Amino acid sequence: MIIFGHRGAPGYPRRAENTAASFRKALQYGAAGIEFDVRRCGDGRLVVIHDETVDRTTNGRGRVANLSYSELEKLDAGCGERIPLLTDVLDKFGPQCLLNIELKDGGIAEDVKRLVVERKLERRIIVSAFQWDELRPLAPEIPIGLLSSRLKGLVVAARELGAVAIHPRWDSVTERLVKTAHDADLQIHIWTVNDPAKISSLQTMGVDGVFTDCPERMSMIVGPVIKQGL
């Protein structure tokens, strides 16, 4: 079972999420992959941040879409870390581990694809989104995963879009869902799980991966990490 550091290893409540320090920590704690969020900022560049605004995760205020990167990089995103560019994360962490990129804005898939292909990282990446149609420009060149908090139509849509995985919420997972996904040649990665007992239960069910804020709690459960392409 693959452990993805959810926004790195920010703990919970989360601190310095989606920063280089958080990603490094996740890998030090044994995660085989990192998950992070991407938006477009005011000057058109793609930045790694979860929320529409910088208010919660930095010492600044304002909408990401209204701020240039020169403004964003001056902010403290926790522990003195800055908001990274997507290119920085691809260059630094792409050769080291699996990267799960979650699209938070519409209309950015083509740019994400271009940056990934330029670096020949296609088999080190999975791109996910709750808005499934946003993923259409990516497959089949880049693996995609469908995020959802509900199960209705999830497997069918994943097959139609050429996805490699589904990413359901932890409290919706059943053994039947795992079997249905595997029968459809889909991996199943679960978000967001911070309880080691739940991780162990999901591993018993046969899930392929989990997203966690606390990868340091998981290494004893899942054993050696798996650093392979998706």
Per the CB < 8 A criterion, the answer to whether 190 and 1 are in contact is no
Give the domain ranges of the chain: 2-222
pLDDT, tens digit, for every residue of 130-181? 999 999 999 999 999 999 998 999 999 999 999 999 999 999 999 999 999 9
Checking if the pLDDT of 224 tops 70, the result is no
Checking if the pLDDT of 220 tops 70, the result is no
Per the CB < 8 A criterion, the answer to whether 170 and 191 are in contact is yes
pLDDT, tens digit, for every residue of 88-126? 999 999 999 999 999 999 999 999 999 999 999 999 999
Name the pLDDT band for 9 (thresholds 50, 70, 90). very high
In this predicted structure, what is the pLDDT of residue 218? Answer: 80
Checking if the pLDDT of 228 tops 60, the result is no
In this predicted structure, what is the pLDDT of residue 227? Answer: 42
Query: How far is residue 31's CA from residue 2's CA, in Å, rounded to a whole number?
Result: 8
DSSP string, 30-88: T-SEEEEEEEE-TTS-EEE-SSSBSTTTSS--SBGGGS-HHHHTTS--STT--PPBHHH
Query: How far is residue 67's CA from residue 133's CA, in Å, rounded to a whole number?
Result: 27
Name the pLDDT band for 217 (thresholds 50, 70, 90). confident
Strands 33-40 and 46-48: antiparallel
Query: How far is residue 142's CA from residue 137's CA, in Å, rounded to a whole number?
Result: 9
Residue 13 has a CB neighbour count (10 Å cut-off) of 7
Angle, vertex CA 223, rays to CA 222 and CA 225, nearest 5: 90
Q: Looking at the domain that runs over 2-222, which CATH code has it been given? A: 3.20.20.190
Catalytic residues: 6, 50
pLDDT, tens digit, for every residue of 38-80? 999 999 999 999 999 999 999 999 999 999 999 999 999 999 9
